[in-house]
Amino acid sequence: MLAMEAHVVFAYRTFGLCGFRPMSSEEITKMVSEKPSAFAASAMAAGFTAMMGQRPDQVMAAAMHPLRAETNRNVRRLAGSDVEEGAA
């Protein structure tokens, strides 16, 4: 789901930059500013899970969770009324 949501966010933002969808200047800033905190949360989650002695697949799942949460929020926000509750 992470890869699919990331592609949807990329498409919405590309359409906005090309003028096909409305896009605020805050969205352009958010494209850059959201990444450090999301990757820091991902690294922290992976580190804590690894320090607890969990399996590598559990460490990876913990690392993906904050990133997936961010892409899911972005899809919902950018899609607006295009996405029904629970569809993304």
Structure tokens at 45: 């989650």
Position 75 scores a pLDDT of 94
The sign of the CA dihedral 45, 13, 72, 74 is positive
Confidence of residue 12 (pLDDT cuts 50, 70, 90): very high
Residue 80 binned pLDDT confidence (cut-offs 50, 70, 90): confident
Please state whether the predicted TM-score (pTM) of the whole model is above 0.85: no
* Look-up of token digits 């352009």: 28
For residue 9, count CB atoms less than 10 angstroms from its CB and return exposed for 0-12, middle for 13-18, buried for 19 or more. buried
Report domain extents, the chain.
2-71
pLDDT at 34 > cutoff 60? yes
Average pLDDT score, the chain: 90
